[in-house]
Amino acid sequence: MSTKLETIGKYESAKEAAKKMLNKNVSSLVVVDEEGRSLGIVTERDITRGVCIHDVPSKEYKIHHIMTSPLSMIEPNLTVEMAANMMIQNKVRHLIVSEGDKMLGIVTASNFIDYLNEQLDPAHPSAKVLRTLKDEI
């Protein structure tokens, strides 16, 4: 899990979201309303698919048009296997870890690669594959 949770307002542009993701080195942003309540999530994939297929400049395309809502959330005490199953079942690559109303962090596909790498002997052939895969994500 990463505790690095970045947010963006629902009326911000896709261009602003892409800039923020690049500057913060994250692949997603939690979308919030004016009061800071979480509404959904926008990912690099959402921006690519949402903006590129429309004939609209990214600075004019608003986040609330492309965000995924509601958020897929998990509790911090769930196992790695349960989190992976939830991602597969919900067809998502990002899970928000929350306890009550408080967001604690985010689990992404990269986190699973890190976890698996920790479980393997560095000399194991699969460890090299996972390191290469991590570099590509």
pLDDT tens digits in sequence order for the chain, 137 residues long? 888 899 999 999 999 999 999 999 999 999 999 998 899 999 999 998 888 887 777 788 899 999 999 999 999 999 888 998 899 898 898 999 999 888 999 998 888 778 877 777 777 777 777 667 666 55
Query: Count of CB atoms within 10 A of residue 13's CB?
Result: 18
Domain ranges of the chain: 7-136
39-64 burial, b at 16+ Cβ within 10 Å, e below that, comes to bbbbbbebbeebbeeeeeebeebbbe
Q: Which residues contact 73 (CB under 8 A, 6 or more apart)?
A: 95, 96, 97, 98
Whole-structure pTM over 0.85, yes or no?
no
User: What is the number of alpha carbons within 13 Å of residue 94 lying toward its C-beta?
Assistant: 25
CATH number of 7-136: 3.10.580.10
Check the CA dihedral 72-21-15-54 and report its sign.
negative
Q: Which two tokens mark 103?
A: 């967001």
